[in-house]
Amino acid sequence: MAAPVPVIAIDGPSGVGKGTVARALARKLGWHFLDSGALYRILALAARNAGVPLEDAGRVAALAPKLKIRFDQAPDGAERILLDGADIAGEVRAETTGSLASTIAVHPPVRAALLQRQRDFREPPGLVADGRDMGTVVFPDAPLKIFLDASAEERARRRMLQLREAGRGATLAPLLADIRARDERDRNRSTAPLRPADDAVVIDTTTLLPAAVLARVEELLHARNLV
Ligand code: DC
């Protein structure tokens, strides 16, 4: 039997920098990349646009198989997320959309509806998967599982700097409140709560720059003969 396609699962709370590290790693390795949070965000937006209440787990889940999503890049390298052909990347990345996503993500039928869609990203030569339950639920056989953590204050500060760099006004207090609310929902839901897999390597990034985190993950990859 052919060896399974390798997966690097990178999980952790909101704003910890998983996306930055996971994307850089996928690019460096030439592997596929799964941004699972984007799928929850897109589904939440689709439900809102269709007038489906976010608490109606069955109706929200029923929308999932119908979504025609494409992840893409504009010629200038900017991220594009096409839903039924329209670029909704700006809306997908909005802070408010993160909260909508976290709200629908508590429903087991919603999580089940997105499961196969996430597993479909597992294609040769390998996959870097970014999320909350990549190592615990979606890819429990991943040969390398990383759990990134950092204090809520540090994550809010990073988010604020990111928004300011993008030319958007941002203050710390509301970002910190939002991060705490999402942590609470993501960690305490009954299905697939945010937690490190038993075999995950936990890295506290509070005082680390992204390049140092990436270097640590690459060391682990080499140590496990995955590259
Ligand atoms: O990673 P993100 O901020 O884009 O994720 C948005 C929300 O989606 C997050 O607060 C919880 C939910 N989510 C999830 O429940 N499971 C995942 N694998 C990814 C995201």
Among protein residues, the one whose CA lies closest to atom 1 of ligand 1: 37
Atom of ligand 1 minimally distant from the CA of 19? 1
Mean per-residue pLDDT, 139-147: 98
Ligand 1: distance of its center to the CA of 163 in Å? 19
pTM exceeding 0.85: yes
* Highest mean pLDDT pick, 25-34, 71-80, 160-169: 25-34
pLDDT, the chain, mean: 95
Per CATH, the number for 7-218 is 3.40.50.300
Among protein residues, the one whose CA lies closest to atom 12 of ligand 1: 102
Q: Is the CB of 135 under 6 A from ligand 1?
A: no
Long-range CB contacts for residues 91-100, cutoff 8 Å, separation at least 24: 91/45, 92/38, 92/41, 92/42, 92/45, 93/41, 95/175, 95/178, 97/41, 97/44, 97/45, 98/14, 98/37, 98/41, 98/178, 98/182, 99/178, 99/181, 99/182, 100/41, 100/44, 100/45, 100/48, 100/54
Question: Residue 47: its pLDDT value, please?
Answer: 97
Q: Is the CB of 114 under 6 A from ligand 1?
A: no
Ligand 1: distance of its center to the CA of 132 in Å? 6
Residue 133 has pLDDT above 90, yes or no: yes
Atom of ligand 1 minimally distant from the CA of 118? 18
Share of the chain above pLDDT 70, in %: 100
Residue 126 has pLDDT above 90, yes or no: yes
pLDDT tens digits, one per residue of 82-111: 999 999 999 999 989 999 999 999 999 999
Contact present, 9 and 1 (Cβ < 8 Å) = no
Per-residue confidence band for 213, with pLDDT thresholds at 50, 70 and 90: very high
Element containing residue 137 per DSSP (H, E): none
pLDDT tens digits, one per residue of 31-68: 999 999 999 999 999 999 999 999 999 999 999 999 99
User: Residue 17 region, left (φ>0) first, then alpha (ψ -120 to 50), else beta?
Assistant: left
Among protein residues, the one whose CA lies closest to atom 4 of ligand 1: 37
Mean per-residue pLDDT, 176-191: 95
Ligand 1: distance of its center to the CA of 134 in Å? 11
Atom of ligand 1 minimally distant from the CA of 99? 10
